[in-house]
A and B are shown apart, each in its own frame.
Chain A
Amino acid sequence: MAHQVESERLVSVFAYPMPYEWSIGLYGSKFFQEIKQNRRFVGIRCNGCGKVYVPPRRVCGPCFRELTELVTLSDTGVITAFSVVNYPFIDPNTGAQRPIPYTYGYIKLDGADNIFSHIINETDLSKIKVGMKVRAIFKETAEMQGNIQDIQYFDIVA
C-alpha cells in the first residue's frame, strides 16, 4: 500500500515507571508470615476436592469453593519442571536486566498438590533433573520483607 506522504520516520519514547502497590491479601500474607516466623511454607486445603494449594488462596477454582483449612508444610519439595533461561531481558519489576543464566523452576512442595514457581540454584544442565529433591533457602529473618524474595532460591539436596 503506497503511502501518500513522505517524511522522516520519527519515534516517541515513553520510558517511565508505572508504580503500583498491590495488596497481598489475607491469604497470601499468611504465607509470608509463616516464612518469617517459622521458616516454612503453609498451604490451604479444599474440602471439596481435597487438593492442597500453595500459595494459600481464598477460592478453589475448579470447585468454586471458599477455602479455610490451612495446612502447615515443610520447606522441601520436588522439581517437576525447570528451564535454564539464557536470554537477556529487562525485568519489569526493577527496570534493569535480570542476571542470566538462571533456572526457572516448577516445584511441587511436599504436601501440596499444585506447583510453586521459583528459582532453582543450579544452572548446569547436567546437574538438574526432574524429580530431584529441593529445599528452600530463605533470607535471614531480620532481612525478610514479607515478599517472594524472602525465599532466595531452592537448593538441590542430595
Chain B
Amino acid sequence: MGRRVAIVGVGQTYHKSHRPDVTSREMIREAVTAALDDAELTIRDIDAIVIGNMDHFESINYVDTYSVEGSGGVMKPIMKVSTGGTTGATVAIAAYYHVASGLFDRVLAIGFEKNSESDTTGAIITCSDAIWDRFSYSGAIPSLATEATAYMEKYGATQEDAAIIGERDRNNALNNPFAHLQRPLTVADIMASPMLAYPIKLGDICPRSDGACACVLAADGVAQKITRKPAWFKAAAVRHTYTWFGDSTDYNKGLVSMQRASKDAYQQAGITKPAEEIDVAELYLPYTWAGLKWIEDIGFCGPGEGVKFVRDGNTHMGGRIPVNPSGGVISTNCIGATAMLRVAEAAIQVMGKGGKRQVPDVKNALATGFGGCFWSDVVILSTERP
C-alpha cells in the first residue's frame, strides 16, 4: 500500500511510577531526543509529527498544540491521534500512512502518558458510555476479569496458568533498562498478591507508569541512508468495533478484534504460519490471562491451546516465539506510550539493538495494541524490505 516505510530509530524514557521532575512536554522531549539520537538525525530532518495520549490522564485538551516545545513541533505539521489504550499503535500507524502517502519522508511518532498526574481508574471509567455503562463500570480490571472467568470456565485454565505469564514478563524486564518494574515476580508471589477483582490479583495486572516513546519513520530510499538495518513495515491493521462493553454478543468467541486484525495483518505480510514465521512478538497484554487467551486469537496456537503452548516454553526467551522480551505491559504501562512501546520494541528486535533482551536472528517481529472496547491493532516489522 503506497510507499514502503521503515522505522529507523526509536527512543523511550526510563519509565517510572512517578516523574515529578518533568511536565508532560519535558518528558516527551526525552523520548524524542533519544529517538533522534538513535536515528542520528536532528529535529530539522523531521517533516511531520503525530502524537497521542489518553486525554483524561493529564486533563490537557489538544496535547498536540500543548507539547510542541517537547515534540519539536514548532513550525512543523503536527496532528493528534487518540484511541485510548491502542493509541501508541494507532499513532505509529498514522505516522506510517503519513510516509506511505508520499507526502512526508521522515515522520516522528510520539506516545506518552503521565499516569501519575491523574486518578487512573477514574480516567478509565470515563471511557465507558455515560448513560449505560459508567454506573457499573470500574475500569479495565473488572471487565478483563470477566473475560478471564469466561476463559477459565470454558477451558479449565487456572490462576496459576495465568501467573506464568506474569512471571515470564517480569523476568524479561530485568533485561530491559527502560522497564518500570525491575523486580522479578514468581508464580507464588502472584498467587499470594491481593485479589483486586476475582480472579485478577495485583500481580496479574499492569502498573501505572509515567513515560514516553518516540519512533522515527522514513520512506523507502530515505530509510536506507539513515540506518543499515531499517525495520520495514510489512503490515498495519486496526480493528476497533463496539461502542458498549456488552456488545460482544458471544462472550466466548474470543477477542474478535484481534482475530480480525491479525488475519488482515498476516494477509498483508504474506504470513500463513505465524508461530513459525514470526520470530518475536511484543504483545499488549495488560494482564496475565491475556497471555493465554490472546495468543489463540492471534493465531499462534488453536483455541483452548494457550495454556499448553505457554507451559511448553514456546513464548519464553529461547522458545519458538518469545513474547515480550521487553517485559511487556505488565512491567511498564504509560498508556499513551504503551502500544507504541510494543512497536518500538519490535523495531528494536528487528534492528538488532535489543542488547540483553535481543532475540537472536530476528527477521519478522509482531507488535500489538489493545484498548478501548476490546480493540486490537497489529503491526508486523521485518528486516526484509517488502
Q: How far is the CA of A119 from the CA of B246 in the complex (A)?
A: 13
Quick check: is B125 within 8 A (CB to CB) of the other chain?
Answer: yes
How many whole Å from B91's CB to the nearest CB in chain A? 23
Which of A81, A86, A102 contacts B251, CB < 8 Å? Answer: A81
How many whole Å from B206's CB to the nearest CB in chain A? 14
Interface residues of A in 66-107 (CB under 8 A from B): 80-87, 89-93, 98, 102, 104-106
Also in contact, A9 and B136, with CB within 8 A (given A24-B131, A86-B196, A117-B245): no
Quick check: is B243 within 8 A (CB to CB) of the other chain?
Answer: yes
Which residues of the other chain, A, contact B122 by a CB distance below 8 angstroms?
A: 89-92
Q: How far is the CA of A119 from the CA of B133 in the complex (A)?
A: 11
User: Nearest residue in A to B153 (C-beta to C-beta)?
Assistant: A130
Q: Number of residue pairs across A and B with beta carbons under 8 Å? A: 126
Q: How far is the CA of A48 from the CA of B8 in the complex (A)?
A: 47
In the complex, the answer to whether B248 meets A115 with C-beta atoms within 8 Å is yes
Which residues of the other chain, B, contact A38 by a CB distance below 8 angstroms?
A: none
Which of A62, A83, A113, A117 contacts B133, CB < 8 Å? Answer: A117
Quick check: is A125 within 8 A (CB to CB) of the other chain?
Answer: yes
Which residues of the other chain, B, contact A119 by a CB distance below 8 angstroms?
A: 135-136
In the complex, the answer to whether A61 meets B243 with C-beta atoms within 8 Å is yes
Which residues of the other chain, A, contact B132 by a CB distance below 8 angstroms?
A: 28, 55, 117, 148
Which residues of the other chain, A, contact B149 by a CB distance below 8 angstroms?
A: 81-83, 130
Quick check: is A118 within 8 A (CB to CB) of the other chain?
Answer: yes
Which residues of the other chain, A, contact B245 by a CB distance below 8 angstroms?
A: 106, 115, 117
Q: How far is the CA of A72 from the CA of B241 in the complex (A)?
A: 26
Q: How far is the CA of A85 from the CA of B145 in the complex (A)?
A: 9
Which residues of the other chain, A, contact B135 by a CB distance below 8 angstroms?
A: 93, 118-119, 148-149
Interface string of B130-167 (1 = CB under 8 A from A): 11111111110111011101100100000000000000
In the complex, the answer to whether A87 meets B246 with C-beta atoms within 8 Å is no
In the complex, the answer to whether A115 meets B197 with C-beta atoms within 8 Å is no
Interface string of B39-74 (1 = CB under 8 A from A): 000000000000000000001000000000000000
Quick check: is A51 within 8 A (CB to CB) of the other chain?
Answer: yes
Which of A98, A115, A116 contacts B138, CB < 8 Å? Answer: A98
Which residues of the other chain, A, contact B137 by a CB distance below 8 angstroms?
A: 104, 117
How many whole Å from B330's CB to the nearest CB in chain A? 17
Quick check: is A47 within 8 A (CB to CB) of the other chain?
Answer: no
Also in contact, A86 and B195, with CB within 8 A (given A106-B146, A114-B247, A130-B150): yes
Interface string of A9-34 (1 = CB under 8 A from B): 10100100000101010001000000
Also in contact, A81 and B147, with CB within 8 A (given A92-B126, A117-B133): yes
Q: How far is the CA of A2 from the CA of B249 in the complex (A)?
A: 52
How many whole Å from B107's CB to the nearest CB in chain A? 24
Quick check: is B20 within 8 A (CB to CB) of the other chain?
Answer: yes
Which residues of the other chain, A, contact B246 by a CB distance below 8 angstroms?
A: 54, 106, 114-117
Interface residues of A in 41-62 (CB under 8 A from B): 51, 53-55, 57, 61-62
Q: How far is the CA of A89 from the CA of B125 in the complex (A)?
A: 10
Which of B134, B194, B195, B251 contacts A80, CB < 8 Å? Answer: B251
In the complex, the answer to whether B134 meets A92 with C-beta atoms within 8 Å is yes
Quick check: is B377 within 8 A (CB to CB) of the other chain?
Answer: no
Quick check: is A1 within 8 A (CB to CB) of the other chain?
Answer: yes
In the complex, the answer to whether A89 meets B138 with C-beta atoms within 8 Å is yes
